Structure 1
């Protein structure tokens, strides 16, 4: 499928924040005791230095005692630790990425929960790429990533969705190519994955991702924008790998936009050419 049901990422907003400092009172200026460059400054009193040192030592001792204290309300501490999210839900597994590919897409994922998550993340990258805008490449991706039944069902509707009229609205010709001197951008960058149901035969994996889509060029009227979405895949173990049977997308969750300066079209085009993608593993 495309990056979104509307075949685009949508508009991204830029948040602006402002603040000011204020206050009242008289500003006190202390003149130098001697020449600013050649003279010596008046030293601080030894009593003030001693008080500062003693204060720091007391704080350190208190911090060490707090960190090393034992006993206490062990039951309460255990209950609190159970309420906290486990780091294993977001931490990487350390499992190495797969070493095989199918039409340039990683393949041969383990028949495990982690393998299903890795598969879903890499499938999102492939289905969100510019290859989806070329008929032959799109068919190859669908045949490789979906079950045979799902692929046969989806090809015709996808061809209708990626019609010449739709490609034209994206600034592409009927074959999915951008105008000379322009760079068409369509990328998915997975941020994380989660499993809502799993067996060794079927599983459901959601991929939270940031996407980019648009045309980079001096005369482009559709600049590259970013969006945040969640792509959910129903996977089935078939032909020695995880295959997609169904997929859906929802918007967000999106973080508050930052104050980063928007790049020029030349900078975007150069970055797309210089920075390749990754093979994702849970």
Structure 2
């Protein structure tokens, strides 16, 4: 699946946040912190599920997993895999986010999203990676949290128009086709999974006022549970974010997404729906990428 749409935006500053560094320069290297307890066979499988539709609707201003989710929704029902539970909905303890270690990360937050990135190459790469995580999260499927995410990551001059487009895209019919309830909530007995995990970043352009960063990522999307007909699958994609320095932080002015690079699938066995549900509940996502 290839997504070539890109929409340019422009606007005036409108968001304030704390600063970590005002110097320009940097190493250009980004390291990603993942949960220490991750397991290599959480969601791998001997073969990839077939996708029946590769020419699907697109949205102005790319949101990381939306188009992948549309393909997932239109792929058609598949078995949820062997399961001896899948009661992931509301039961069990919540997953704990994995805090950053090592060199002190940014200390600011805009809601749940890190803010106050350095005004240099490394800061731009970190901002792009963190924004990719937020835009690929399950929060994008809920209207209220979607507004918080978009406003925290985008140029204020373009955020409201993008939200209008996304509200139309995340329609009750679309959410139902994904397997969710029409309000975006998860059906009882199932666990909805939508995560984006950056594998690496590449800064292709950078100045004191703007940057272009490519974030190569893998994502998980689907419903885990005994009755699921939309099993959790993996996707590989690269999101290109055009960033602007706005009132003390990097913000997305436009973005586009392409499929891959996609590695050869390994020989890991496909986990049961119950194992996937427990993994999602037990392993929190990382809170900072650099």
TM-score > 0.5, shorter chain as reference: yes
Q: 2:145 matched to which residue of 1?
A: 137
Residues 177, 257 of structure 1: alpha-carbon distance in 2 compared, 3 angstrom cutoff:
same
Q: 2:177 matched to which residue of 1?
A: 169
Are residue 275 (structure 1) and residue 244 (structure 2) matched? no
Q: TM-score, normalised by structure 2?
A: 0.66
Q: Which protein is bigger by CA-based radius of gyration?
A: 1
Q: Which of 120, 127, 136 lines up with 1:128 in the alignment?
A: 136
Q: 1:231 matched to which residue of 2?
A: 239
The answer on whether the counterparts of 2:218 and 2:235 sit within 8 Å (CA) in structure 1 is yes
Gapped regions of structure 1 (runs ≥ 5): 12-93
- Distance in 2 (alpha carbons) for counterparts of 1:278 and 1:222: 25
Are residue 7 (structure 1) and residue 15 (structure 2) matched? no
- Distance in 1 (alpha carbons) for counterparts of 2:70 and 2:263: 19
Secondary structure of 2:67 counterpart: coil
Secondary structure of 2:114 counterpart: strand
User: How far did 1:144 drift?
Assistant: 0.9
Are residue 207 (structure 1) and residue 215 (structure 2) matched? yes
> When you count helix as a share of all residues, which structure comes out higher?
1
User: How far did 1:240 drift?
Assistant: 1.2
- Distance in 2 (alpha carbons) for counterparts of 1:5 and 1:184: 17
User: How far did 1:175 drift?
Assistant: 1.6
- Distance in 1 (alpha carbons) for counterparts of 2:198 and 2:68: 20
Q: 1:58 matched to which residue of 2?
A: none
User: How far did 1:2 drift?
Assistant: 4.3
The answer on whether the counterparts of 2:118 and 2:124 sit within 8 Å (CA) in structure 1 is yes
- Distance in 2 (alpha carbons) for counterparts of 1:272 and 1:97: 25
The answer on whether the counterparts of 1:8 and 1:213 sit within 8 Å (CA) in structure 2 is no
The answer on whether the counterparts of 1:230 and 1:249 sit within 8 Å (CA) in structure 2 is yes
Q: TM-score, normalised by structure 1?
A: 0.68
Residues 2, 121 of structure 1: alpha-carbon distance in 2 compared, 3 angstrom cutoff:
closer
User: How far did 1:211 drift?
Assistant: 0.3
Q: Calculate the aligned-residue CA RMSD, in Å.
A: 1.5
Are residue 251 (structure 1) and residue 274 (structure 2) matched? no
User: How far did 1:204 drift?
Assistant: 0.4
Number of aligned residue pairs: 200
Q: 2:109 matched to which residue of 1?
A: 101
Secondary structure of 2:258 counterpart: strand
- Distance in 2 (alpha carbons) for counterparts of 1:209 and 1:96: 24
The answer on whether the counterparts of 2:64 and 2:132 sit within 8 Å (CA) in structure 1 is no
Q: Which of 175, 186, 199 lines up with 1:191 in the alignment?
A: 199
User: How far did 1:5 drift?
Assistant: 2.7
The answer on whether the counterparts of 1:4 and 1:249 sit within 8 Å (CA) in structure 2 is no
Residues 6, 265 of structure 1: alpha-carbon distance in 2 compared, 3 angstrom cutoff:
closer
Deviations 1:210-250 (A, max 9, x none): 10000001111000000110011000011211000101100
Q: 2:156 matched to which residue of 1?
A: 148
Greater than 4 Å deviation, 4+ residue runs: 8-11
- Distance in 2 (alpha carbons) for counterparts of 1:134 and 1:177: 8
The answer on whether the counterparts of 1:185 and 1:272 sit within 8 Å (CA) in structure 2 is yes
User: How far did 1:95 drift?
Assistant: 4.7
The answer on whether the counterparts of 2:64 and 2:239 sit within 8 Å (CA) in structure 1 is no
> Whose RCO is larger (CA < 8 A, sep 6+)?
2
Secondary structure of 2:268 counterpart: coil
